Amino acid sequence: MAPGRAGSLESLRRLNRLRVINALRDVGLISRAEIARRTGLSRSTVSSLVAELQADGLVVERSEEPASAHGDHGGRPPTLLSFDASAGVAIGIDFDHHHLRVAVSDLSSTILAEREQALDTDHLAHEGLDAATELVAQVLADAGVERGRVIGAGMCLPGPIHQPTGVVGSTAILPGWVGVAAADEMRCRLELPVAVDNDANLAALAEAAFGAGRDAKDLVYLMISSGIGAGLVLNGRLYRGSVGLAGELGHVLVDPGGAVCRCGNRGCLETVAGTDALADLLRRSHGEGLDGRRIVELAREGDLGTRRVLADAGRAIGSAAATLVNVLNPELLIVGGDLAAAGDLLLDGVRESLGLAALPTAAEAATVVAGSLGDRAEVLGAIALVLSEAEGAFPMRPVAEAGAR
C-alpha cells in the first residue's frame, strides 16, 4: 500500500471514507449535506473526504442536475455527487477453517464475481496461496476484468497476524501457515499490493462499514466459531493493539479447572463456548460430526440439548464480554461467526450475563445484535481493507479514462 499519513486521525478517516463511499453507492446522486446526514459525520469531514475522493478521480460533481426538492441554499440547488465505482476493482480473499473464498468487487464494494472451494484443514500455506492465486484468476475472468484494473487485494486468515509484518502467529486452525509472511507471499504471486488481517478484525471492519455497525463509533465484534475472537472498532478505528493481538477474547480464562486449550492454558472461553466445545458436549446425545451449522439447525428445530448448550455458551461469552464492556464502553456488541445464526438462542444468554456481570449503565448502553453480513463478512472485510487502505493508491491505477478530470 502507498505510505499513508500516519496516526490515529488517519485511521479514523479510513472508516469514515468507507462510510462516505457507501452513502454515495446507496443513493447514486447525493449532496454533501445528505452524505453528512446519512453518515452522521460533520459537514467539514464530509467535504474533506469528498475532496480526497475527487482528487483520486473516484467522485465527480454533477452540477448539471436539476435542483433538488430539498435544496437548502436559498434556491440554489446543492451540487450533487456521484461515485465512479468502475474506476477499478478490489479483490477479497478469505481463508477459513476449511474453505477458500475469493471475490472481486468494484470500488463501492459491490461484488462482481465470487468463487468458493473446499480446502483441506491441514493444507500447507503454499498450497492455500496457490489455490487462491488460481481462484483470483478465475473470478477476474468471471467478472470480465483486466488484471491491470485491480488496485489491490485484502486477505483474511483465521489466526493471529503479527502487524505490521503480516506474519501468521501460532494457530491450530491453520497449522500449515504458522511463521509464513502471508501478505508478502501473496504479493509475489499476484504482483499486487496485498494487505492481510485476521477474521475477527475484518468481519468487524465489514460490519462497521456496511453492516449492523454502520452507525456506531465504538463497537465490539464477537466472532463465535471453532475459534473465538473479538474485533474492536474504537472511535471509528479498527484497534489492533501493539502487534496485532488485540481482541483475543477466546483465550480469556473462564474455568480454571477446565479443558486444556490449544494455546496451552486451561479453561479458556474457546474450550467452553467454541463450536468444537459444543460438539464435544453434544457427542453423547447426538453422536459424532456435529458442526456449527448443524448445531444451529437442530436448535431451530427445537432440539432441547442443542438449545441448552447454545444458551450456556451465550452466558459464558457474555461473562467474558462483560469485562470488555466495562473497559471499553461500546455502544454495540455484534455477534458473528458460525453460531451467530442461532440468533436469540445464543444472544439472550450473552445479554443475560452482561446484565449480571457488567456495570449496569455500561450494559444498558451496549446493544447486542447478530451481524447482518453472515459468512460473507470476512471477504467483504478483506475488500474493505483494500478500499480503506488504498488512499493515495488510486492515481497510480492504470485506468485513466474513467473519472479523470
Chain residues binding Zn ion by CB under 5 A are 251, 261, 263, 265, 268
- Select 152 or 247, whichever has its Cβ closest to Zn ion: 247
The answer to whether 202 touches 156, Cβ cutoff 8 Å, is: yes
Closest separation in Å from C-beta 250 to Zn ion = 6
Within 119-270, strands assigned E span 150-157, 161-162, 167-168, 194-198, 219-224, 228-234, 237-239
Grid coordinates representing 124? 500447507
Query: Rounded to whole angstroms, how far apart are CA atoms 373 and 382?
Result: 13
User: In terms of Cα–Cα distance, which of 83, 84, 81, 85 is closest to 32?
Assistant: 81
- Select 35 or 268, whichever has its Cβ closest to Zn ion: 268
- Select 259 or 359, whichever has its Cβ closest to Zn ion: 259
Closest separation in Å from C-beta 261 to Zn ion = 3
- Select 86 or 265, whichever has its Cβ closest to Zn ion: 265
Closest separation in Å from C-beta 266 to Zn ion = 8
User: In terms of Cα–Cα distance, which of 113, 111, 146, 117 is closest to 131?
Assistant: 117
- Select 27 or 263, whichever has its Cβ closest to Zn ion: 263
Closest separation in Å from C-beta 269 to Zn ion = 8
Number of CB atoms found within 10 A of residue 301's CB: 9
- Select 187 or 251, whichever has its Cβ closest to Zn ion: 251
Closest separation in Å from C-beta 80 to Zn ion = 53
151: DSSP letter: E
Cis peptide preceding 78, ω within 30 of 0: no
The answer to whether 135 touches 186, Cβ cutoff 8 Å, is: no
Strands 161-162 and 167-168, by their bridges, are: antiparallel
Closest separation in Å from C-beta 263 to Zn ion = 3
Bridge partner residues of 103 (DSSP) = 92, 114
- Select 196 or 268, whichever has its Cβ closest to Zn ion: 268
Closest separation in Å from C-beta 313 to Zn ion = 16
